[in-house]
Amino acid sequence: MGTILPANSQLSLSFEPGLSAKHQTLRECVATGVYQRGLGKVAGQIDMAPSKLCEKLSGGADRKRDIGLEEFEAYLQQTGDKTPVYYLIDKYLSDPSVRRDQAVARVTELLEALPAALAAAGISNARRR
């Protein structure tokens, strides 16, 4: 049974940024989790034949093969994998200014590491003419 939070509480999330760039679709994100855990194991956990789960993960033009919401929830509950939820948050709820700030921070880290990497590669700081 889930916990009901008081009205004045705040949800705090910590997740891997960039999941929406790493996975093109929610289906791909779920498929990655399934195959990391083992197709047969996950299929058993959600009471589905491995071949059927594989078919649903492959998608395609036939929308009858899609994973349903009940199956998606069963996957989340049985595996404890929150990555698909974090993917949706990253894709639909992330603040563009936060993404920009993260990108600037990453560029700063790379620029600070550049002189040591150049020195290790034997590239001198001196300008060549």
pLDDT of residue 123: 87
**Side chain identity at residue 102, one-letter code:** Q
pLDDT of residue 33: 96
Please tell me the distance from the alpha carbon of residue 89 to that of residue 15, in angstroms, as a whole number: 9
Indicate the angle between helix axes 26-37 and 50-58, nearest 10 degrees.
150
pLDDT of residue 2: 47
8 Å CB contact between 18 and 51: no
Tens-place pLDDT, residues 71-114: 999 999 999 999 999 999 888 887 777 778 878 888 999 999 99
The domain spans of the chain are: 19-93, 95-124
pLDDT band at 128 (very low <50, low <70, confident <90, very high): low
pLDDT of residue 82: 94
SS3 121: coil
Q: Quote the tokens at residue 54.
A: 């594989």
